[in-house]
Structure 1
Amino acid sequence: MTTHKTTEGALAATCIGVSTKMYLGYNASLRWLEQIRRVVAERPGIYPGGPVRVIVIPSYPVLESAGKILAGSPVLLGAQNCSWGEGALTGEVSAAMLAELGVSVVEIGHAERRSLFGESDAVVALKTKKALAAGLEPLLCVGESVRMTPRAAAGHCLAQVLSAIGPTGQQESLGRLLLGYEPVWAIGAPAPAPAEYVNEVGDRLRRLLAERTEEVPAIIYGGSAGPGLLPELQLLDGLFLGRFAHDTKNFGLVLDEALDRRSHGQAPR
């Protein structure tokens, strides 16, 4: 996992994640994964434990093949969801099984899961607990439904984070999360949320979290994100990409921006 140190000096890794959602079929997903591996291999500045962290999140049926394609590469494999329980839950996939498949990261609480599948804060909390128990890193998605002031948006996101990890006694779990800040009103939009707004929300959220833990989770932005955005988000730890990264050329451009950011010693403060 990647946490943002609240002390001066330490640089958090820049994290670039991408989800295929349900856009790609099985064979198209395999071709895309092979291309992703090549794109990453062409950039020797990306390596395990290095300054740029790459997470790829394909559809469930592709996970086993994806693990084989990405084996030996620095790319971390993620899943788009996990179950809140075990056993007789037809159609669900447990966090424990994902861990067996070699998954490292699991996306939880995406706005589409909340709105289209009725996932409440209580369900998100159960899934977060299961993911942590299985040794997975929850990529917890948070964000406001409508545009607010940055102060209000940060408070809304903080409430979502604290709800997901449970009572105060469980706040040691904060440092084990990766936060995807995705304002719902920007998901699927023609353009991302304004960089000035995203920077302020991210910075305010980080400061609120720092009041509760020394290991503040990394915060990455998602919501119509693509090439050209990362250099504008100086106060965020990376990007969570969607449809724009299904073209691996765009993915490569974003990786170059991440590498350039690190070469100049830039990281959120």
Structure 2
Amino acid sequence: MAISLPRRRIVGVSLKMYFDLFNSIKYVQGVYQLDGLAWNERVDLFVIPDFITILEAARILESSSIMLGAQDIFWKDDGPYTGEVSPRVLQQAGVKIVEIGHAERRAMFGETDEQVALKAGAAARHGLIPLVCIGERTHHNIASAAVGMAIEECRPQVMSVLATIPDDVEVIFAYEPVWAIGASEPADADHVVNVTKELRRMAESRKGVTRIMYGGSAGPGTFAKIAAGVDGLFLGRFAHDIHNLKQVITEVGGA
């Protein structure tokens, strides 16, 4: 039986491609100001800017406990891969966590479970924490059926990653039902808890820490309803206002 390691709560935000260079830097500076607050004892915080901003973001965050993330990674360290970003370079740039397999990349660029797993393996190989986005595409109206179908759709997404990364490294799964991304409300709390509890069982034999986040229209009040299943929240546009981000972190730290 694997040793049960304590899991810290975690909150993060991805800027996607919403900000220009100057506003991205301004946002990272704002996130830096949140470091050292009371919740730091209980909550890990990460921010994922665009690639162009990473070096300046690393400089800003260097003296803080805030983790710098990247929005994607390639599975090869070097070679003739035009437009891709090397895991070695990301590690050298100060990146600590890498978002992999977001629903947008799976849909727009055809990323497969196999490619996502290769990227997770490359991240782990260079000491980066893979943050793997998973989730079902279709929302089913019957609650009991919805949970079962979500679990079965997520299972290969999870298991392919677990088969690729070392058993003792940390991995984070961001459960993001595709139908909840950008919606007016997050997924139903019972649905999230039931699905994420089963996702955790898939990784229960691992030696390394496995954390599970929820993403998909998350905001104030979301975490308390689903804390039985997740370790934190992966935020989107709501958190582009630093005050909103601070509010959510405070809730996660105090729940």
In angstroms, what is the RMSD of aligned CA positions? Answer: 1.8
Cα shift readout 1:3-35 (whole Å, capped 9, x = no counterpart): xx874xx64211001100000110001111111
Task: Give the aligned residue type for 1:158.
Answer: R
Aligned residue number for residue 232 of structure 1: 225
Cα distance, 1:138–1:124 mapped onto 2, change above 3 Å:
same
Aligned residue number for residue 150 of structure 1: 147
Deviation at 1:119, TM superposition (A): 0.9
Deviation at 1:208, TM superposition (A): 2.9
Aligned residue number for residue 264 of structure 1: none
What is the CA–CA distance in structure 2 between the aligned matches of 1:166 and 1:237, rounded to whole Å?
22
Match of 1:72 among 63, 78, 102: 63
What is the CA–CA distance in structure 2 between the aligned matches of 1:200 and 1:40, rounded to whole Å?
33
Relative to structure 2, which stretch is displaced further, 146-155 or 196-205? 146-155
* 1:38 counterpart = 2:33: yes
Task: Give the aligned residue type for 1:150.
Answer: V
Aligned residue number for residue 244 of structure 1: 238
Aligned residue number for residue 13 of structure 1: 8
Deviation at 1:194, TM superposition (A): 1.0
Conserved? CA contact 2:7–2:209, under 8 Å: no
Deviation at 1:185, TM superposition (A): 0.7
What is the CA–CA distance in structure 1 between the aligned matches of 2:130 and 2:88, rounded to whole Å?
13
Conserved? CA contact 1:17–1:241, under 8 Å: yes
Conserved? CA contact 2:220–2:248, under 8 Å: yes
What is the CA–CA distance in structure 2 between the aligned matches of 1:130 and 1:206, rounded to whole Å?
22
What is the CA–CA distance in structure 2 between the aligned matches of 1:62 and 1:110, rounded to whole Å?
20
Percent of aligned pairs with the same amino acid: 40
Conserved? CA contact 2:113–2:156, under 8 Å: no
Deviation at 1:40, TM superposition (A): 3.0
Q: Secondary structure at the match of 1:139?
A: strand
Displaced runs of 4 or more, over 4 A: none
What is the CA–CA distance in structure 1 between the aligned matches of 2:62 and 2:126, rounded to whole Å?
21
Match of 1:256 among 247, 250, 253: 250
Conserved? CA contact 1:109–1:141, under 8 Å: yes
What is the CA–CA distance in structure 2 between the aligned matches of 1:161 and 1:259, rounded to whole Å?
27
Conserved? CA contact 1:221–1:238, under 8 Å: yes
Q: Secondary structure at the match of 2:39?
A: coil
What is the CA–CA distance in structure 1 between the aligned matches of 2:139 and 2:246, rounded to whole Å?
30
TM-score (norm 1): 0.86
What is the CA–CA distance in structure 2 between the aligned matches of 1:30 and 1:45, rounded to whole Å?
23
Conserved? CA contact 1:209–1:216, under 8 Å: no
Q: Secondary structure at the match of 2:34?
A: helix
Cα distance, 1:55–1:239 mapped onto 2, change above 3 Å:
same
What is the CA–CA distance in structure 1 between the aligned matches of 2:248 and 2:92, rounded to whole Å?
30
What is the CA–CA distance in structure 2 between the aligned matches of 1:69 and 1:188, rounded to whole Å?
29
Q: Structure 2 stretches of 5 or more lacking a match?
A: 141-145
Relative to structure 2, which stretch is displaced further, 230-239 or 93-102? 230-239
What is the CA–CA distance in structure 2 between the aligned matches of 1:146 and 1:58, rounded to whole Å?
29
What is the CA–CA distance in structure 1 between the aligned matches of 2:8 and 2:166, rounded to whole Å?
22
* 1:97 counterpart = 2:89: yes
TM-score (norm 2): 0.91
What is the CA–CA distance in structure 2 between the aligned matches of 1:64 and 1:58, rounded to whole Å?
10
1:1-269 equivalent positions in 2, closer than 5 A: 7=4, 11-41=6-36, 43-46=37-40, 50-85=41-76, 86-148=78-140, 149-166=146-163, 172=167, 175-210=169-204, 212-215=205-208, 217-235=210-228, 236-261=230-255
